[in-house]
């Protein structure tokens, strides 16, 4: 009898975990997961400067939803041909819903765009154009239309640059505080580091002439480059803590713990790992950063 109860309990736990994973997979396919990451980083930056207005954070969230969904829907059939990805097949499967979701996201992004500070209207639009040009053909070379991400070696730097500007620099501007470029660089290094695992994952699919960091230096050295970036970000974190008093001790520790957990995920990255390792684990570090910061502010 006891054995039967334990078996049923284990089955219930297993089914519960499968249900949670299905929900998370849905959030990944709809790009709600990655959008939550950008919202988390933007909200975090606004909190640094005592700005409780979330118009910018919600604009970043909905514009990320629209941009990522639009780009992937526009190229999903080509993506399936490039590699056998369950995520891409799910995007194709739910494409009608995702198009509707993209339209709603675009409307919401426009509403919040009108609510943000006018001083960043044009910079926001410029970042949006870069994001679109990153994945859609915008220039012609030797008779072939190419994307910004097709330019050798710069793919990861474009991602880190856009994320750092949107989630770190713009919150400073709307909060009317002096620009601290060390904080922007810290954010750039963090995003740069957590993007390397995705280049490691994509080694099987990326063209050789892309010259991504893992292609140029190999997987092992690429991971070390990511770790160095995180260590420098941690150094900048504590420099800002000790010399500028930007954070409380608990807040600084919360960010530091997030960086350390991100470093572990970067170090363990390998092309043979499951897609969830990257889409849920590595991508989730941005969400974790905001969550731990929130807990440090409200529970400690």
Q: Of 20-24, 77-81, 98-102, 150-154, where does mean pLDDT reach its minimum?
A: 77-81
**Structure-model confidence comparison of residues 85 and 237, the more confident one:** 237
- Reported confidence tier of residue 290, pLDDT bands at 50, 70, 90: very high
Residue 243 has pLDDT above 90, yes or no: no
pLDDT at residue 10, as a whole number: 56
Mean pLDDT of 37-44: 97
pLDDT at residue 136, as a whole number: 76
- Reported confidence tier of residue 6, pLDDT bands at 50, 70, 90: very low
Angle, helices 181-201 vs 285-298, to 10°: value is 140
The ranges assigned to domains in the chain are: 31-298
Angle at Cα 151 formed by Cα 148 and Cα 157, nearest 5°?
Answer: 75
State how far the Cα of 271 lies from the Cα of 122, in Å rounded to an integer: 39
Q: Which residue reads 């891409």 in tokens?
A: 88
State how far the Cα of 198 lies from the Cα of 231, in Å rounded to an integer: 19
Mean pLDDT of 47-65: 94
Using DSSP, state whether 141 is helix, strand or coil.
strand
Query: Average pLDDT, whole number, for the chain?
Result: 87
Residue 127 has pLDDT above 60, yes or no: yes
Using DSSP, state whether 144 is helix, strand or coil.
strand
Please name the residue ranges forming H helices in the chain. Answer: 2-29, 32-48, 55-82, 86-93, 95-113, 121-135, 155-164, 170-174, 181-201, 213-217, 219-244, 249-268, 275-276, 285-298
pLDDT at residue 82, as a whole number: 54
Tell which residue, 153, 173, 182, 174, has the closest CA to residue 246.
Answer: 182
Using DSSP, state whether 31 is helix, strand or coil.
coil
State how far the Cα of 186 lies from the Cα of 238, in Å rounded to an integer: 11
Residues 263-283 have pLDDT tens digits of: 999 999 999 999 999 999 999
Residue count of the chain: 300
Residues 169-203 have pLDDT tens digits of: 999 999 999 999 999 999 999 999 999 999 999 88
């Amino acid at each position: 009898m006891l054995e039967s109860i334990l078996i049923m309990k284990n089955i219930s736990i297993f089914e519960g975990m499968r249900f949670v994973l299905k929900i998370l997979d849905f959030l990944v396919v709809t790009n709600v997961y990655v959008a939550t990451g950008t919202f988390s980083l933007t909200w975090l930056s606004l909190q640094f400067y005592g700005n409780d207005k979330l118009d910018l954070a919600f604009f970043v969230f909905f514009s990320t939803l629209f941009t990522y969904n639009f780009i992937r829907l526009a190229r999903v059939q080509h993506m399936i041909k490039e590699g056998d990805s369950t995520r891409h097949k799910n995007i194709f499967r739910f494409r009608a819903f995702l198009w509707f979701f993209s339209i709603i996201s675009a409307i919401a992004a426009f509403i919040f765009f009108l609510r943000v500070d006018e001083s960043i209207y044009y910079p926001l639009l410029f970042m949006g154009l870069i994001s679109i040009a990153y994945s859609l053909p915008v220039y012609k070379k030797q008779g072939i239309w190419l994307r910004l991400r097709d330019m050798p070696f710069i793919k990861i730097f474009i991602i880190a640059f856009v994320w750092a500007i949107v989630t770190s620099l713009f919150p400073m501007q709307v909060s009317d505080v002096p620009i601290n470029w060390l904080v922007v660089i810290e954010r750039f290094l963090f995003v740069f580091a957590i993007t390397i695992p995705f280049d490691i994952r994509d080694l099987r699919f990326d063209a050789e002439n892309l010259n991504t960091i893992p292609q140029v230096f190999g997987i092992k050295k690429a991971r070390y480059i990511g770790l160095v970036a995180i260590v420098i970000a941690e150094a900048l974190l504590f420099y800002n803590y000790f010399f500028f008093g930007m954070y409380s001790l608990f807040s600084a520790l919360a960010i530091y713990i997030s960086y350390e957990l991100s470093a572990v995920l970067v170090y363990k990255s390998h092309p043979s790992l499951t897609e969830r390792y990257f889409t849920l684990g590595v991508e989730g570090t941005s969400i974790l950063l905001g969550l731990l910061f929130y807990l440090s502010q409200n529970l400690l």
